[in-house]
A and B are shown apart, each in its own frame.
Chain A
Amino acid sequence: MKIVVCAKYVPDATGDRKFNADNTVDRVGVDGVLSELDEYAVEEALQIRDATDGEVVVVTVGPEVARAAVLKSLQMGADSGVHVLDEAIHGSDSAATSLILARAVERQRPDLVLCGMASTDGGMSVVPAMLAERLGLPQVTFASEVVVEDTTVRIRRDGDAATEVIEATTPLILSVTDQCNEPRYPSFKGIMAAKKKPVETLTLGDLGIAADQVGLDAAWTRVDGFTERLPKSAGTVVTDDNGSGADQLVSFLVSQKFV
C-alpha cells in the first residue's frame, strides 16, 4: 500500500512566535518543527506500511527550512519525501495550500493519504477536506483508530456524545487525531538512514500551478492585524487564616463571575 502523509513545518509552540511585516507567520526566523499533530499521521502511516509491506512518502509545502519536517518524518521511518518549494507560495491560504498538496499528492498515485487533525499554527482542520475535494476522493476525518485490511479501511471516530465506526475503501483521504497512536522517537540508526533517503524538490511550475493561483495575493482570507496576548499575571494566593479561606475563594469566584 502506498501512503502519502501531508506534513507541515510549524513554529515550535514552546518558543516565541512572530509575524512578518505582511502579517503572515514567520516560519524562517523562529525555531520550527514538524507539526506535533502531523507526527500522529506519520506514525499511523508507518504502522500501516509495516503491516501491509507498503511505502510511505511524506509531502511538505513551505520555505527551505520546511525540509526539516520531511527530514524528521524520514528519521522516524518514512521512505521518501517531497518538498514543494517556491517563493510564490508565501502567504498561501488553506485553499491554495490544498491545491499545491493535491498536485503533489496525485503524482504519487497513493492508496491512502494521511493528514494530522489540524496544524498547530493555523489550526483550521480544513486541508484534508479540501484535498479530498480537489482529488475527487472520499475523506474521513478525525480518526481515533484506523484498521486496514486490503482495500478496506475501518475508522473509529470519537465524538463528544457517540463513537462511530466508518468503513471506507481506498483510495482515501484520512485525518487522524492525537488519540490514534503514540508517535515514535527517531532512532539513531533512523537519523543515519534518513540522510540517504530520496527527497524530491518541486516548484509550482513542476506541478503546473501558476504563481498567481497561490500566495498572499490569491488568498481568500488575510490577517489584518494581531494583538499579542498579555503575559500571565502572578495569580492570587488565598491564605487560609482562621478558616476564612473558603469565604475568600467564594468572593474571588463571584468577583470573576465564575459562579
Chain B
Amino acid sequence: MPTDEAAELVKLVREIATEQLAPRASEAEAAAQFPRDVFHLLGQTGLMSLPFDEADGGGGQPYEVYLQVLEEIATAWVSVAVDMSVHTLSSSAMARFGTPDQRETWLPGMLGGSQLGAYALSEPQAGSDVSAIATRAVRDADGYVVNGTKAWISHGPHADFFLLFARTSDDAKRGLSAFHVIAGTPGVSFGAPEKKMGMTASTTTQVIFEDVRLPVELRLGDEGQGMAIALSALDSGRLGIAACATGLGQAALDLAAAYATQRRQFGRPIADFQGLQFVLADMAAAVESARATYLSAARLRDAGRPFSRQASIAKLVATDAAMKVTTDAVQVLGGYGYTRDFPAERYMREAKVMQIFEGTNQIQRMVIARSLLREAQ
C-alpha cells in the first residue's frame, strides 16, 4: 500500500466485507436479490468515490488503491464489486466531460453513493462492435428524442441514472453522443431480468427507450463525442474487472485451502497429499500473478503513462486465472464442490462471465496484438 491511509482504508473495507457482505452473498445470489442497501453503506463510507478527484468530492485515491479495495469486496461478494466497478465507469464520464453546472448538480449524488449509475452502451446487435449501435437520439427544437434498446445493462432496474450512448448521426467516427439519463424519465422501461448462469444478485436487463425526451443540458460533452467518451473509460473499466476476478480467485483459493486442511481421507487431511498441494500451489500462483498484473497496469495509469495494452493483459490474465482457480476449487472440494451447499460452484459460474464482459478475452487478445505489432513495425 502506498500510504498509511490506504492501508487503513483496506482494513475498513475488509471489516465491511466480512461483516456486511460475505454473510449475505450466497443467499442473495440464490434468491436473485439485488442488495441496494449495500451501495448506500458503501457510499456513506466513501467507497463509491475513491478514484475521483478530491475537488469533486472523491477520495483522491490512485487506481492502485481503488482496485485493491475492489478486490477485497470481490473476495466477499463479486456481484457487489462488479456493480461498483460499473458505477465508477458510469460516473467517470460526468467527472471528466461534464460542464461545471452538470458536475455541480450530479456529481455529489454519484460520488456519495445515493445515486447508483448504470452503463448503457451495448445493444442486442452491438456488443464488441460499438459502431453497430442503433439507438438514436434525434435533435428537435426542445432537445433530443431517444429510441432504441440497450442490452446487458448491469443493475438496470435499480439504477438511479444511466450513462447512455446513442447515435446522433451516421458519421463513422463522430456518430455517437453521450447522455445523462435520470431513472424514471418517461419512456424508459426494462426488459425481464436475464436468466444468467451466475452473478444473479446483480440484475441484468435490457433498458428500452421509447420516445424519451432529453433536454440538451443532459448531453455529456459535445454532440459526436460519444465514442471518445466511451473509449476514455474502457481501459480503466477493464482494470476494474481484473481486480474483481482476482478477488473471486482469492475467495476460491481461501475456500479450497481451508477445506483441504479439514477434509480427511485415509486417516489424514487431504492437504497432506502432494497431488492436492500442487493444485493449491498452482491456484495461489495464478491469483498472485493476476494481482501483480493488474497492479502493474494500475501503476502505469497512476503515473499518467499509456496502459491500454497492460489493461487488456490484466483483464485477460486475471479473468482466465479466475476461471482456472474456481474450477480447481470445485475439484478440491470434490463432490461437495459440485453441490450448492458450498460456494465453490457459484464462484465457478461467476468466473465465466469475467471472460466475457467488458470486452471478451478474444477482444483483449486483439487489443494486445494490435498494440504489440504497431510497436514492432
Interface 9-mer from A49-57, A80-88, A186-194: A186-194
Of B5, B44, B47, which one neighbours A192 at CB under 8 angstroms? B5
Question: Could you tell me the distance between the alpha carbons of A192 and B4 in the complex, rounded to whole angstroms?
Answer: 10
Task: Give every chain A residue within 8 A of B15 (Cβ-Cβ).
Answer: 185
Give the shortest distance, in Å, between B38 (CB) and chain A (any CB): 12
B8 at interface, CB cutoff 8 A: yes
Interface flags, A194-234, vs B, CB<8A=1, else 0: 01000000000000000000000000000000000000000
Tally of chain A residues near chain B (CB < 8 A): 10
Q: Which residue of A lies closest to B57 (CB)?
A: A189
A60 at interface, CB cutoff 8 A: no
Q: Which residue of A lies closest to B69 (CB)?
A: A188
Interface contact A185-B16, CB-CB below 8 Å: yes
Task: Give every chain B residue within 8 A of A192 (Cβ-Cβ).
Answer: 5
Of B5, B44, B47, which one neighbours A195 at CB under 8 angstroms? B5
Give the shortest distance, in Å, between B47 (CB) and chain A (any CB): 7
Given contacts A185-B41, A185-B45, A191 and B9 within 8 Å (CB-CB)? yes
A75 at interface, CB cutoff 8 A: yes
Interface contact B41-A191, CB-CB below 8 Å: no
Give the shortest distance, in Å, between A70 (CB) and chain B (any CB): 13
Give the shortest distance, in Å, between B111 (CB) and chain A (any CB): 11
Give the shortest distance, in Å, between B342 (CB) and chain A (any CB): 17
Task: Give every chain A residue within 8 A of B4 (Cβ-Cβ).
Answer: 195
Tally of chain B residues near chain A (CB < 8 A): 14
Q: Which residue of B lies closest to A14 (CB)?
A: B18
Task: Give every chain A residue within 8 A of B46 (Cβ-Cβ).
Answer: 187-190
Question: Could you tell me the distance between the alpha carbons of A195 and B5 in the complex, rounded to whole angstroms?
Answer: 8
B39-63 interface with A by 8 A CB criterion: 41, 44-47, 50, 59
A163-181 interface with B by 8 A CB criterion: none
Q: Is the interface of B mostly helix, strand, loop or mixed?
A: helix
Question: Could you tell me the distance between the alpha carbons of A75 and B9 in the complex, rounded to whole angstroms?
Answer: 11
Q: Which residue of B lies closest to A191 (CB)?
A: B8
Interface contact A188-B16, CB-CB below 8 Å: no
Q: Which residue of B lies closest to A185 (CB)?
A: B45
Q: Is the interface of A mostly helix, strand, loop or mixed?
A: helix
Task: Give every chain B residue within 8 A of A187 (Cβ-Cβ).
Answer: 44-46
Interface flags, B13-41, vs A, CB<8A=1, else 0: 00110000000000000000000000001
Given contacts A185-B16, A188-B50, A188-B59, A75 and B8 within 8 Å (CB-CB)? yes
Question: Could you tell me the distance between the alpha carbons of A191 and B41 in the complex, rounded to whole angstroms?
Answer: 16
Question: Could you tell me the distance between the alpha carbons of A188 and B16 in the complex, rounded to whole angstroms?
Answer: 12
Interface contact A191-B5, CB-CB below 8 Å: yes
Q: Which residue of B lies closest to A192 (CB)?
A: B5
Question: Could you tell me the distance between the alpha carbons of A189 and B59 in the complex, rounded to whole angstroms?
Answer: 7
Q: Which residue of A lies closest to B43 (CB)?
A: A187
B12 at interface, CB cutoff 8 A: yes
Question: Could you tell me the distance between the alpha carbons of A186 and B15 in the complex, rounded to whole angstroms?
Answer: 10
Question: Could you tell me the distance between the alpha carbons of A58 and B344 in the complex, rounded to whole angstroms?
Answer: 44
Question: Could you tell me the distance between the alpha carbons of A148 and B297 in the complex, rounded to whole angstroms?
Answer: 53
Give the shortest distance, in Å, between B24 (CB) and chain A (any CB): 16
Question: Could you tell me the distance between the alpha carbons of A190 and B8 in the complex, rounded to whole angstroms?
Answer: 11
Task: Give every chain B residue within 8 A of A195 (Cβ-Cβ).
Answer: 4-5
Interface flags, B118-141, vs A, CB<8A=1, else 0: 000000000000000000000000
Task: Give every chain B residue within 8 A of A186 (Cβ-Cβ).
Answer: 12, 45
Interface contact A185-B12, CB-CB below 8 Å: yes
Q: Which residue of B lies closest to A33 (CB)?
A: B15
Task: Give every chain B residue within 8 A of A191 (Cβ-Cβ).
Answer: 5, 8-9, 12
Q: Which residue of B lies closest to A188 (CB)?
A: B46
Interface residues of B (CB under 8 A from A): 4-5, 8-9, 12, 15-16, 41, 44-47, 50, 59
Q: Known pairs A185-B44, A188-B47. 9 more at Cβ < 8 A?
A: A75-B8, A185-B16, A185-B45, A186-B12, A186-B45, A188-B9, A188-B12, A191-B5, A191-B12
30 contacts between A and B (CB under 8 A): A75-B8, A75-B12, A185-B12, A185-B15, A185-B16, A185-B41, A185-B44, A185-B45, A186-B12, A186-B45, A187-B44, A187-B45, A187-B46, A188-B9, A188-B12, A188-B45, A188-B46, A188-B47, A188-B50, A188-B59, A189-B46, A189-B59, A190-B46, A191-B5, A191-B8, A191-B9, A191-B12, A192-B5, A195-B4, A195-B5
